[in-house]
Amino acid sequence: MRDELTADELAFLLRQGLGPDDVLDVRRMTRSYWFQEIKRLNKTIALGSACKKGGHRLRSRKGHCVQCDSSKIAFAGRHDLTQYLYIAGSLRARLIKIGVCKDLRQRIRQICTERHGDARDWEVIYAVEIERAGEIEERVLSRLGHFAIHSHYWKNGSLQQSIELRRCSISQALEAMSAGDRGEGLLSRHQLA
């Protein structure tokens, strides 16, 4: 794959902590086929057709240009990783935050500094290290969708929209993690203990 990538593309991948082995060449595949293949082969980036905005060829698993918006890499890549799925709470704001991260202490410092929900008193209430943490996080957030709070925070000088805040109880958040779709729980009782 290294021979197929330009020097700029290789440098971009390196800055993202990725390499040629993380890329799947999808230029001769149909979109529906490569969407399946990239997951099956556990690749993070697709080498595809040039984007309209910048002429870049590197794309996320969902087909978005990652060179125009590198946040697409972090979001897509975290779905399949083994990470901490956590529930954090702010007493002052009376909010719950569901998220995933690799380093819990660093993440809590970050969300306090960024003032998610206009709060600086975030604490980890519950955390479990699990496979496919991002996928499970997305399902838990969906289950708690009717408790969603629309809020913004500042990150690297840019205003961001927070999608992980909920105004619900701790027990409701824990229930969303253990509740099953058709009898299948996201987390076993052992993981919640």
Percent of the chain past pLDDT 70, that is, above it, reads 88
Domain of residue 93: give its range.
83-192
Q: Which has the minimum average pLDDT: 6-15, 66-75, 182-191?
A: 182-191
> Do 81 and 137 form a contact (C-beta atoms < 8 A)?
no
Q: Do 125 and 185 belong to one domain?
A: yes
Clarify whether residues 64 and 131 are in a common domain. Answer: no
161 and 66 co-located in one domain? no
- Helix, strand, coil share (%) of the chain residues, nearest 5: 40, 25, 35
> Which residue has 């799925």 as its token pair?
85
Give dist(CA 112, CA 107) in Å, integer.
9
Claim to verify: residue 44 and residue 92 sit in the same structural domain: no
Q: Which two tokens stand for residue 15?
A: 């800055």
Cα dihedral 16, 20, 22, 23, rounded to 10, equals 110
Quick check: pTM over 0.75?
no
How many domains does one find in the chain?
A: 2
**Nearest-10 crossing angle of helices 170-178, 133-143:** 120
β-strands 151-155, 58-59 pairing: unpaired
Average pLDDT, the chain: 86
